[in-house]
Amino acid sequence: MLKVKVNDIDIEVEEGLTVLQACEIAGAEIPRFCYHEKLSIAGNCRMCLVEIEKSKKPVASCAMPVADGMNIKTNTELVEKARKGVMEFLLANHPLDCPVCDQGGECDLQDQSMFYGIDKSRFKENKRFVPEKYMGPLIKTQMTRCIHCTRCVRFATEVAGVPEIGAIGRGEDMQITTYLEKAMESELSANVIDLCPVGALTSKPYVFEARPWELKKTETVDVMDAVGSNIRVDTYGWEVKRILPKINEDINEEWISDKTRYACDGLKYQRLDAPYIKKKNNFKKISWQDALQILKDKINVTKPEKIAGLTGDLTNMETLFACKELFHKVLKSKNLESREKNIYINLNDRKNYLFNSEIKGIEKSDLILLIGTNPRYEATMLNARIRKSFLKNNTEIFSLEDLGDLTYNYKVLSNTTEEVKKIIENNCDISSKIKNAKYPLVIFGESALTMNSSKYMFEGFKKFLNENNKITEEWNSLNILNTNASAVGSYDLDIVCKTNETLEKIDKNFFEIIFLIGQDNISISKKNEFIVYIGSHGDKGAEIADLVLPGAAFTEQNGYFTNLEGKLQMAFKASYPPGEAKEDWVIINEISKLIDGNGLFKDKNELLTAMNNHINSNKKNEFSNLFKEEYINEKILTLPIDYYHSNVIARSSKTMNECRNIRSKLKKTGTEG
């Protein structure tokens, strides 16, 4: 510990901190533009100047390490004058276009010039003009406003792992640009918008949409993937205007993926706003009462085993639980399934389907093995952590398959089950590497769990890791990377057909009524089934449905989601469902009320209590081994994910469509050349 003085307050700080961090500990605010906690130190904006005793000149506090006995002053005349001087230089070439700038109201430069700047400029010359740069469909540039803090450059190189942004030229003519003005090829690209302390990089889809003070802000969670990034949803009336990250060091730090941020315009399009019935291949609007009556008549003439239900990837746990109760208690059917494919899941213990090492645990890992997963597209934020660990610990990363660019270096093994067999039978280098590693991580993707030999691989690996003390109270190196936001929640609620029959029977057209509860990712070859779609968007599910009941999207109802680590988080209501649409659990409850007269739950509280009791009671906590020799030699292929089109909201989003088109064009022509 070092003893330093900040503005005559004695404090003790850890070694290795900077003067700026010490000042923050002491409660002295230091203005800054280029410094950012998560990025490397640049020290080029000079806004953080402070006075240090025995130093003749003011010191850039962000780049100066704290030394014992330093006497730091942040409120002297010298500091004030230095800040004013720096501010004047920064503003010399900054346009006075705040009224038409999208950053207005949440601009660091605006705020800090109010606090630390002066009201006049002595710069009489013409201001510099910099042409706009193309940076892709998400980032709008207005480079005349740029103050060259290089936060975006550092973010792209360090966090995103795509060194495509740089500063060209020098001095007054320095310009920030992507290489030859190509779109940034990263799933984290839009974070540079939040990082930009001025209005140089702003959001293209959100351009001139609203001012920050007009928006209602709701802190909630994201459902685009199973990571459960914490977000803030900004709404203006009904419309979700934008989505921003909320800091959660355990999950997404302070970044979110482009899909999380920009799929929100999908909440506006293709919405189901009233119940529809299909007549002669045309959808006709009907009332809720008629719709439910039709459904009741249909259910009354159908045998329970001929009714099936499929829950979707964005369904919250309340709805999942209500569905479960509806099927078990009211419809008396066992055919409720949450999986899209027959993924091998051992429901005896939660540890069998969670990301046990936790996302923050990735940072200390020293070896990572990827089996049938492409984390870059399946869980972008988790991939960013792997990159962080790769940069910090030089973690060795192996993948069974060549997955292309993952933003870090990894070694490719062979993508056969034989390789897995060798590892778990302790027959190759990797096995001894795993044994010697202190914090190894084995990540199973969904692709690896949908194969014939999935059970062999998963249980085999579990046995191998258990035998080598890699699954302990302290560190559990067995990880499953689920891709759907609702996956872990539905496993917690046991919404899995134990015999794996439901999906097969659907293929064989066995059922007479199929409920699709927000399920749009399964292609059903329809014959005589009566399909009921309950969901928010008119997509694949509604297209084949005979009866459409309009539900709410994740921003329009309170609902729990369990992320891939097993953290229970709530998505709060930021807006309300459009038209006659209702919250999902209410629809399920009304269906049950219609059939047995009572309804499952009186209100939401009753549902939540029942759900909690169920979750706490249904797990056997048997983490035992089910390992049997059922080895089949096959290839492990990571199924490609259509990143920008992975769920209904993203598919309805114009922004995501544009991103997808640009990415596929890049792939076609090739970026090399």
Is the CB of residue 54 less than 8 Å from the CB of residue 73?
no
Distance CA 358, CA 382 (A): 10
Strand-pairing partners, residue 517, are 311, 534
The distance of closest approach from Cβ of residue 253 to other proteins in the complex, given in angstroms and rounded to an integer, is: 24
Determine the size of the site formed for other proteins (CB under 8 A): 17
Binding other proteins by CB under 8 A: which of 54, 170, 498, 527? 170
405 is a contact residue toward other proteins (CB under 8 A): no
Q: What is the DSSP string of 609-668?
A: HHHHHHHHHS----------------B--PPP--GGGSSHHHHH-HHHHHHHHHHHHHHH
180 is a contact residue toward other proteins (CB under 8 A): yes
The distance of closest approach from Cβ of residue 673 to other proteins in the complex, given in angstroms and rounded to an integer, is: 8
The distance of closest approach from Cβ of residue 395 to other proteins in the complex, given in angstroms and rounded to an integer, is: 18
Strand-pairing partners, residue 355, are 479
The distance of closest approach from Cβ of residue 504 to other proteins in the complex, given in angstroms and rounded to an integer, is: 49
**Strand, helix or coil for residue 425:** coil
Which part of the chain contacts other proteins (CB under 8 A), choosing from 66-74, 174-182, 289-297, 560-568? Answer: 174-182
CB hemisphere CA count around 95 (13 angstroms): 17
CB neighbours of residue 646 within 10 Å: 21
Pick the closer one to other proteins by CB: 200 or 263.
Answer: 200
Q: Could you give the string, one character per residue 233-272, with x where binding to other proteins holds by CB under 8 A and - elsewhere?
A: ----------------------------------------
171 is a contact residue toward other proteins (CB under 8 A): yes
Pick the closer one to other proteins by CB: 154 or 573.
Answer: 154
The distance of closest approach from Cβ of residue 173 to other proteins in the complex, given in angstroms and rounded to an integer, is: 4
Is the CB of residue 380 less than 8 Å from the CB of residue 255?
no
User: In angstroms, how far is CA 422 from the centroid of its own chain?
Assistant: 34
The distance of closest approach from Cβ of residue 158 to other proteins in the complex, given in angstroms and rounded to an integer, is: 13
Which part of the chain contacts other proteins (CB under 8 A), choosing from 60-68, 82-90, 176-184, 429-437? Answer: 176-184
Distance CA 287, CA 590 (A): 14
163 is a contact residue toward other proteins (CB under 8 A): yes
Strand-pairing partners, residue 13, are 2
Pick the closer one to other proteins by CB: 54 or 170.
Answer: 170
SS (H, E, C) 47-115: CCEEEECCCCCCEECCCCECCCCCEEECCCHHHHHHHHHHHHHHHHCCCCCHHHCCCCCCCHHHHHHHH
Pick the closer one to other proteins by CB: 138 or 165.
Answer: 165
Pick the closer one to other proteins by CB: 183 or 336.
Answer: 183
The distance of closest approach from Cβ of residue 170 to other proteins in the complex, given in angstroms and rounded to an integer, is: 5
Binding other proteins by CB under 8 A: which of 45, 70, 165, 531? 165
Distance CA 232, CA 557 (A): 15
From the list 33, 145, 131, 151, the residue with the least C-alpha distance to 92 is 145
673 is a contact residue toward other proteins (CB under 8 A): yes
CB-count burial class (<10 Å; 0-12, 13-18, 19+) for 538: buried
169 is a contact residue toward other proteins (CB under 8 A): yes
Binding other proteins by CB under 8 A: which of 173, 473, 603, 629? 173
Which part of the chain contacts other proteins (CB under 8 A), choosing from 159-167, 400-408, 575-583, 619-627? Answer: 159-167
The distance of closest approach from Cβ of residue 51 to other proteins in the complex, given in angstroms and rounded to an integer, is: 33
Pick the closer one to other proteins by CB: 92 or 428.
Answer: 92
The distance of closest approach from Cβ of residue 245 to other proteins in the complex, given in angstroms and rounded to an integer, is: 25
CB hemisphere CA count around 275 (13 angstroms): 17
From the list 177, 484, 432, 489, the residue with the least C-alpha distance to 316 is 489
The distance of closest approach from Cβ of residue 166 to other proteins in the complex, given in angstroms and rounded to an integer, is: 4
Phi, psi of 304 (to 5 degrees): -55, -40
Contacts with other proteins in 526-555 (CB under 8 A)?
none
Which part of the chain contacts other proteins (CB under 8 A), choosing from 167-175, 224-232, 551-559, 604-612? Answer: 167-175
The distance of closest approach from Cβ of residue 146 to other proteins in the complex, given in angstroms and rounded to an integer, is: 13
The distance of closest approach from Cβ of residue 174 to other proteins in the complex, given in angstroms and rounded to an integer, is: 8
Pick the closer one to other proteins by CB: 99 or 171.
Answer: 171
411 is a contact residue toward other proteins (CB under 8 A): no
The distance of closest approach from Cβ of residue 138 to other proteins in the complex, given in angstroms and rounded to an integer, is: 19
Which part of the chain contacts other proteins (CB under 8 A), choosing from 171-179, 463-471, 490-498, 643-651? Answer: 171-179
Binding other proteins by CB under 8 A: which of 71, 175, 218, 521? 175
167 is a contact residue toward other proteins (CB under 8 A): yes
Is the CB of residue 490 less than 8 Å from the CB of residue 320?
yes
Phi, psi of 245 (to 5 degrees): -75, 150
Measured between alpha carbons, how far is residue 532 from residues 277, 278, 500, 566 in Å? 9, 10, 22, 31
Give the torsion sign (CA, 349, 353, 359, 364): positive
Which part of the chain contacts other proteins (CB under 8 A), choosing from 63-71, 156-164, 569-577, 658-666? Answer: 156-164
- Binding residues (CB under 8 A) for other proteins: these are 157, 163-171, 173, 175, 178-180, 672-673
